[in-house]
Structure 1
Amino acid sequence: MDFMRKTIERLGLGDYTYLPEAFLERRPNASMEDARREMEMAIFGVVDELLAKTRVKGRDIGIVVVNCCIFSVAPSLSSMVVNRYKMKEGVISYNLSGMGCTAGLLAINLAKQLLQVHHNCYALVVSTESISQNCYTGNDPSKIIINCAFRVGGAAILLSNRPSDQSSSKYQLIHTIYTHTANSDKSYNCITLEEDTDGHLGVTVNKDLLRAAITAIQSNIASLAPLVLPVSEQVRYLRNYVMRRLRVGANIQPYVPDFKRVIDHFLPHVGAKQVLDALQKKLGFTEGDMEASRMTLYRFGNTSSSSVWYALAYAEAKGRISRGDRVWQMAFGSGFKCCSVIWRAIGSVDRRDQVIGNVWSDEIDEFPVDLNNDPKNNAPFYFSPN
């Protein structure tokens, strides 16, 4: 318990995140029914709000993609959505599992490819994670970290390729970039679902995680940069790369492109405070640039694949999204994988329009909170040496 308390403090979580009922038992032992109830609460809650806001009927949706890493059930979660909203028999549905925190943006990429084939169509993407059956009840510190970081959450996104929806949509999807580094054993093994020596199932997080994350992120950024950066930045990056390869200067540091010239909002997955710190330093972003993600981590914890949508909702609730703004969402997770999605705001998002249906609406004026003056958020954090 002492290890868990210290870990929660160092990961950057606040005191008001959400856990499922099964975690509150004296001896947590979540059943299939507990996990299913959690999924119904999260999925039906966000989809109900989405359909009410967009005034789209379930029968009008042609594509459904649901992602949840750990919880696998029959009928599938995607079938649960089809049944609940009485979608037509010809609906195309996919259920993604085992894809980690990256799955939410991977689902967007999949929906995008399906929309390129199926015209005049709506695609519903639902991102969530089952916390009930993720509860680790053993004593291996490398597995207890998951209990400390992950919290209940979910998001639903509606995409369309119908010309009539262009003026009423919030964003236009510009780029999706996907990187997979499982060819490296260290990347592949840094997050693993396995049993401990006493037979307790849990997710092991080892000391290679941060290194694997940075490697995957760097590769993803290298693929993204030519698509979004101006020619001047690309030339500087290429010149620096050639000079370092030729060892013209032994102390030449890698050139970090100025993404702030083309990106207005950077919203990375909120895995942990340490990962956000590393990203901020690597890309040269300010505390203001990282505010949405840090506040999401503090208020809601790591909600896995849906966390990037909580961060976007924060920026919307603050009234910071203006017409033409480019939003960069980045997610990374087990495998090890990294995915970036670039959106362009079609119109300004009026803060007053976010009163209903925005998860931050009731408390947005209380944020940001000052994390720098809280000693627990500045304590060093170390992964288990397993």
Structure 2
Amino acid sequence: MDLKDLRVEIDKVDKLIVELYEKRMDIASQVADYKIANGKKVYDKEREEAKLKAVGDMTHSEFNRVGIEELFSQLMSMSRKLQYQKLAEHGASGRLPFIRIDSLDYANCRVCYQGAEGAYSEIAMKKFFGKDVHSFHVETFRDAMAVLEDGSADYAVLPIENSTAGIVSEIYDLLTEYENYIIGEQIIEIRHCLMGLKGAQLSDIKTVYSHPQSLMQSSKFLSEHGDIKQISMKNNAFAAKKVAEDKDITQGAIGSSLAAEIYGLEVIQEGVNQADSNSTRFIIVTNQKVFLKGAGKISICMEIPHEAGSLYHMMSHFIYNNLNMTKIESRPIEDRNWEYRFFIDFDGNLEDSAVKNALRGLREEAKMLKILGNY
């Protein structure tokens, strides 16, 4: 047979495959009706594993076994998604434990941020809540999460990602540890300056203090002045405060010009971070399961089975429901070697039917799923 005839034969087989697929999905729809009527779960892991082995055993080569198991894995995945959709149509999509609110109470809230006065977190806070916000600062990110949990603050402002240095991994870990949730975000342009005591010149500076990320972001500038010793601090504002208190003209700090102003320091050089477009994304966190009307981004974290294809199948819920995933990060799970927790951002609102459908599927098939916020 020539290529044209072979393609004709393939077309005939494909037609049969389509007919059988539609027949299979019709039966899957009836399965969904039965499960709805009898309160059965959609996902039956043991049944699917047995099915994959059975169809694999029908093949005549290892290559075909792998292919047929992948094909049937997809068929069963589509069947589940149809069943989740039918559950939603019957009002069984499940209520999400988040309450929609129309606005935040800016006038009567207390907000905390990590660091000291002059920190970029303070700048982000005032940008989001306004200059007259009632606020206080704490020493660590964990402290910020803790004061939210005990009710000492209504909101906390925390950095989660920098456009050049990447994620703040500790924040991701704390979001899973504490029952606190993202209600908003604020992006701040980062423009570091080298500051020192009044009258200090660049040639005077022998030691510079700053946060490790700020030192990394300013690595080009610092490499050009290799005789300057670099010392890490928890926060840029703490660095500025130390320089001001030590009154040592050989000490400098890298941070915001606001920090220089607050601690009475002089800006020696502006823009020491090399990136022209350097921004940090801050999240606004609360201890209430609420989301603002019109919120358009959802953050979740999940743990998945430690087996081949798990992440692939989880991602299919976004594809099937036409949801745009904008970010995925992974963090190692403590005390479980080589297992990871995944953090995902995607477009949507918790009241959208497509979002409810995707979350229903993810919740059933993941080992753990937590909605971190809709904002």
Instruction: Establish whether TM, by shorter chain, passes 0.5.
Output: no
More strand by share: 2
Larger radius of gyration: 2
Normalized against structure 1, the TM-score is what? 0.23
Normalized against structure 2, the TM-score is what? 0.23
Larger RCO of the pair (alpha carbons < 8 Å, separation 6+): 1
